[in-house]
Amino acid sequence: KLLTKKVLPHKLLLKHDMIAFVGLTNDSLPSVFAKALAEEPNRKWKKVCVFYTSDTLLKWFSQEKPALNNDDWEKEATNYAKEKKTSMSELTSLLSNNTDELCFYELCQHCFFGSFFGWDAPGGYIHISPTIWG
């Protein structure tokens, strides 16, 4: 059961070997993978791909928050960039020995965010949402 839209489906992580995520900073991923590895310490994924938004696009997202002024936009973009770098570093530490292929990509244009589990075979799961949902 999902408690909030930011909680990823833990069972899908454990069920599928090919996984991809497209998100703003993907800052929730390390804790979800840590939980999966705590449950199954020898779990190895075939491929994990994580798509991050570029720093330029992060600035655009921070400017879309109407309550923020110009100075706050820069601070928000800087916070997003830090969350993104922390996510990359933590995922690298967690998954380097638990994936055959760990890939990080950067998106420079607007897109849908999403989670893709086992998309290469029947029984996979794909969820997408507009970027405005976060």
Question: Widest CA span of the chain, in angstroms?
Answer: 48
According to the model, what pLDDT value does residue 57 have? 77
- Tens of pLDDT, residues 50-65: 999 888 877 776 666 5
CB 124 within 8 A of CB 116: yes
- Tens of pLDDT, residues 95-132: 999 999 999 999 888 778 888 999 888 888 888 876 66
CB 123 within 8 A of CB 18: no
The structure's pTM equals 0.82
Confidence band of 69 (pLDDT split at 50, 70, 90): low
Confidence band of 7 (pLDDT split at 50, 70, 90): very low
Copy the structure tokens of residue 34: 């840590």
According to the model, what pLDDT value does residue 75 have? 75
CB 53 within 8 A of CB 62: no
Q: What is the mean pLDDT of residues 35-50?
A: 95
SS3 52: strand
Tokens 């950067």 correspond to: 106
Within 10 Å of residue 1's Cβ, how many Cβ atoms? 4
**For residues 123 and 36, which has the higher predicted lDDT (pLDDT)?**
36
Within its chain, how far is the Cα of 106 from the centroid? 11
According to the model, what pLDDT value does residue 1 have? 42
CB 130 within 8 A of CB 112: yes
Cα separation, 117 vs 103, in Å, equals: 15
